[in-house]
Amino acid sequence: MSEDHRQLITRHQLRGIRAGALVILATLHLGSALPGLLGGLDDYRHPWLPLAAYGLLTLVLAGSLALGLGGGRWPRGWVPSALTCTFAASVAATSQVPADQYFTGSAHWSAQTAGWFAVVLLAHRGPVASGTFIGCQLAVTVAQLLAAGVPSRAVGAGMALNAVSICCFQMTIAVGGKLLLDRSTALGEALWVQERVRTRIAVAAQIHSDQRRRYAELNATALPLLEGLADGSLDPREDRVRRACASEAARLRRLFAESDYSFDPLVHEMRACIDVAERNGATVQLAVRGAPLELPLRLRRALLDPVIPALAAARRTARVTVIRREDQVRVGVVVDGLRGRLPEPAASEVRVRTVHADGRLLVETMCRTHSSSSEIKPS
């Protein structure tokens, strides 16, 4: 699982947390705060002030609904601006509440809703950030209460009980949201690790399959040759046997080169075959034209297999040419002297051309490519 998938899980979980907090906030704001505001207008010294505060909080709520339901990051500057407006609206609305109705009367509706804005806006930062805002808002409200008049012990106990219950409910949702986010992050990590394990298993299975396939190819070609050399049925002094050994050695080197990382796999595998011919005493020249192309392994093999016997049979010199164009790939080998006849090329996915002239032999393989679809077809 990629990093984007893990972020998607976290964003989906955050969207659910915000949606739940916004539902609670909208319900309290419209179902509890609004009736309390309208019912306590006669108790306010300046009714326009709590009305303006309620209107400002309504705008913050509407903006949070529009911007936060996607689960992504808040726009830059929105959270501090919204929290500042919430704090100012809470202070302004509380300043008009009668001293005996703090935290207990419906006129003090802002005490129930202000903290929920922090839960919504700071859900991604955890309960510490939300608790800090709620604590500051509670401290300022208590200061306003003491400035309006110290309540009696019984009234103060009721106010404290209501204030603690409101804050505890808000902090419970904030902590629960943090736990859910942590679990979604842990889930994303577990899925990512599981995907990595599956990928490693698939890669290991593919490598094992490739190795078995290579061993099967060697059993079909190299093993009979080795058995003949071991039991004496093949004489290593014969040119035919030497040529067969050189061909199998070139195929082995090519198979080993297939496992290497190279910017140009076709030329890299061709060089492995050339190295065997040079070890047999032939002088080989390599010419490469065109930019590297992404050829499938089976096509690289089909291009190189017919030219390997020619390289193995080269007596003195050989010239290898690799030409890549936008619509065509050619691999050709010209040798000026052979140690014997070449085997007939097997049917493959590329076209093979063999030309004898002036004591030289040309073996050329060719296939056409289509860059737009990355397909390769025999010419």
Closest CA to 278 of 261, 253, 259: 253
Closest CA to 180 of 1, 5, 15: 15
Q: What is the DSSP string of 267-323?
A: HHHHHHHHHHHHHTT-EEEEEEES------HHHHHHHHTTTHHHHHHBSSEEEEEEE
Beta bridge partners of 303: none
Looking at residue 208, what is its pLDDT? 79
Per the CB < 8 A criterion, the answer to whether 299 and 345 are in contact is no
Beta bridge partners of 354: 363
Q: Copy the structure tokens of residue 144.
A: 């306003």
Per the CB < 8 A criterion, the answer to whether 13 and 176 are in contact is no
Helical axes 48-68 vs 3-28, angle rounded to 10°: 150
Looking at residue 373, what is its pLDDT? 38
Tell me which H or E stretch contains 365: strand 360-370
pLDDT in tens, the chain (379 residues): 445 666 777 777 777 888 888 888 888 888 888 888 888 788 788 889 989 999 999 999 998 888 877 666 788 888 899 999 999 999 998 888 888 888 887 888 888 888 899 888 888 788 888 889 999 989 998 898 888 777 778 888 888 888 888 889 888 888 888 888 778 777 777 777 888 888 888 888 887 787 787 777 777 777 777 778 788 787 877 777 777 777 777 777 777 777 777 888 888 888 888 888 888 788 888 999 988 888 888 888 888 888 888 887 777 888 999 999 888 899 999 987 654 555 555 546 688 888 887 778 888 888 887 644 344 444 4
* Whole-structure pTM value: 0.53
Instruction: Give per-residue pLDDT as tens, 192-229.
Output: 788 888 888 888 888 778 778 777 777 777 777 777 87
